[in-house]
Structure 1
Amino acid sequence: MNPEHAPLVQMKKIAKHFGSVIALAGVSLEVFPGECHCLLGDNGAGKSTFIKTMSGVHKPTKGEILFEGKPMNFERPRDAIDAGIATVYQDLAMIPLMSISRNFFMGNEPTRKVGPFKFFDHEYANQVTMEEMNKMGISLRGPDQAVGTLSGGERQTVAIARAVHFGAKLLILDEPTSALGVRQTANVLATIDKVRKQGIAVVFITHNVRHALAVGDRFTVLNRGKTLGTAQRGQITPDELQDLMAGGQELVALEGSLGGTV
């Protein structure tokens, strides 16, 4: 995070109601270019609703979204994608039996013309896929390898590399390490670090404090649809962050040191 830069995205007092259920009760968040901002909270804290509001899936009941300083009123996820907000969900939206290059370019297929006909440009897709995966530190056997043969961490990297290649300015990662082993988790965290160093903003949603502290620049904790506090790297210990997530006895003391809510 470079304090000289203006925030890339600002979520101001975002509320989201589903009938009588209050999923978010005035949550605020800022994310800067080149920053990994970790959004933590237990199940039911409101993390998923918040990122779906940020990515255009849900319209906020109240509140304002600013992207690059301009008010945004996303009607659908495509609007957020066009603005430069890419979300990688846990299910990854990939087809296991299709090749890596086909999955990489799904929805953005490059074509070449042969006479009056257009065909998928395999050569270009294969070349770009290999280059982008190499940038992320993943060596593939070949671009025609089926996605289903990759490890969970490698599939996450394919999805992240795809988002970066197609111009993401803000990358939202929804629990990318939740179902991974130690080595695969380390690979995904290394990928997040590479993306951040390219100047891309990252919102890393997790309930794992160790994973957050490994790559995070700032940490915001949600609990029951409210922000409990935000801390910068070095301002909070793993135990304090865990207590904050749990809403434990340390919460009151921590709020003073963190400056309260965002």
Structure 2
Amino acid sequence: MHLRRGEVLGLVGDNGAGKSTFVKILCGYQRPDVGKLFVEGKQVHFRSVGDARAMGIETVYQDLALVPQLPVYKNLFLKREVVAGGRLGFLSDGKMRKLARQYLDDIKVNVPSVDAPVERLSGGQRQAIAVARATRSDVKILLLDEPLSAMGAKESALIIDLVRDLSKNRGVSIIVIDHNYAHIFELCDRINVIHQGVVSFDKRVEDTSLEELTNYMVSEYRQQIMSGRGARRTG
């Protein structure tokens, strides 16, 4: 598998194909048994999530990991709070508010106020806040787990625009994991299908179609069923 700078890669596969394991390896949560991982041409060995983050790899999971009762600006700075006051220190809320507003404006994310509790935001706005938190630092690779799940057209458009801006204008490489093939075609430049831990399909979106991808997945499913029946008969 390869990922180009500024590219949005869609990752598709049935349950158990290896998508989740791959993401855990790439974000440093799990170590690979075999194989090599290269970032910007250099082989890397991640021992923790912190190691992956230090290399500019961030993940936004489907649950977003936001604190609903906290305001937008505090969610943006979770575990990365700005502290002032020397050795004793205290949270610099004013500075965090200002930086949050500047960054959200910079990436064109519109929220009513950085003081608004996240629980009052729409699904699309919450997703945008989670992405903004992940990309606030020097991110090179962003993993998105079903970013358009259960969203309406207006909210989906917000995330699609954000993904395009991050990839095309900022050079962030993005991997999108989604079971909805229509979402993959809306968001991505290229599609990979993982089957039993192997990339079995690799095409640019412009060189394939929703119909071809659907037929391919159905064909793989049928082959899997037939091979399972053959194994049972042999046994």
* Superposition TM-score, scaled by structure 2 size: 0.88
**In the alignment, is the contact (CA less than 8 A) between 1:130 and 1:140 conserved in 2?**
no
- Higher RCO, 1 vs 2 (CA within 8 Å, ≥6 residues apart): 2
Higher strand share: 1
Calculate the aligned-residue CA RMSD, in Å.
Answer: 1.9
1:107 pairs with 2:51: no
The separation in 2 between residues aligned to 1:128 and 1:116, in whole angstroms, is 23
Determine the C-alpha separation between the residues in 2 that align with 1:246 and 1:178: 22
**Identity percentage of aligned residues:** 33
Q: 1:140 aligns with which of 97, 108, 111?
A: 111
Report the AA paired with residue 153 of structure 2.
V
Q: Distance in 1 between matches of 2:87 and 2:55?
A: 33
- Which of 153, 159, 169 aligns to 2:140? It is 169
Partner residue, 2:232: none
Verify: 1:211 aligned to 2:183, yes or no. Answer: yes
The Cα of 1:145 is off from its aligned counterpart by 0.7
Aligned to 1:19: none
Q: 1:179 — aligned with what?
A: 150
CA shift, 1:178, in A, is 1.9
User: 2:217 and 2:99 mapped to 1: Cα distance?
Assistant: 41
- Paired with 1:249 and 1:83, the residues of 2 have a C-alpha distance of 36
Residue 67 of structure 1 corresponds to which residue in structure 2? 39
More deviation in 240-249 or 62-71? 240-249
Q: Name the SS for the 2:156 alignment partner.
A: helix
Q: Deviations over 1:171-225 (max 9, x none)?
A: 1111111232222122111111111021110111111121111121111011333
For 1:91-117, what per-residue CA distance to the aligned partner results, in whole angstroms no more than 9, with x for missing partners? 11111101111110011101111x753
Q: Give 1:202-241 correspondences, 5 Å limit.
A: 202-241=174-213
1:211 aligned counterpart, secondary structure: helix
Answer with 224-233 or 103-112: which moved more: 224-233
- State the match for 2:13 in structure 1: 41
Given the alignment of the two structures, is residue 243 of structure 1 paired with residue 215 of structure 2, yes or no? yes
After the TM superposition, list the runs of 4 or more consecutive aligned residues in structure 1 that deviate by more than 4 angstroms. 248-251
**SS of residue matched to 1:188:** helix
Q: Secondary structure at the match of 2:35?
A: strand
Say which SS state the counterpart of residue 62 (structure 1) adopts. coil
Aligned AA (1:180): M
Gaps of at least 5 residues in structure 2 are 224-235
| Count of matched residue pairs | 222
Matched residues in 2 for 1:81 and 1:219: separation? Answer: 25
CA distance in 2: counterparts of 1:147 and 1:50, whole angstroms: 30
Q: 1:122 to 1:110 in 2, by over 3 A?
A: same
Q: For residues 121-157 of structure 1, what are the alpha-carbon distances to aligned partners after superposition, in whole Å with 9 as ceiling and x for unaligned?
A: 1111111111222233332221111111111211111
1:45 Cα deviation from its structure 2 partner: 2.5
Residue 231 (structure 2) aligns with: none
For the Cα contact (< 8 Å) 1:136–1:157, is it kept in 2? Answer: no
AA in 1 matched with 2:105: N
Q: Which has the higher helix share?
A: 2
* Residue deviations 1:53-102 (CA, integer Å, cap 9, x gap): 11111111111101111111111111101110011111111111011111
State the one-letter code of the partner of 1:103. N
Name the CA distance, whole Å, in 2 between partners of 1:56 and 1:206: 21
Residue 256 of structure 1 corresponds to which residue in structure 2?
A: none
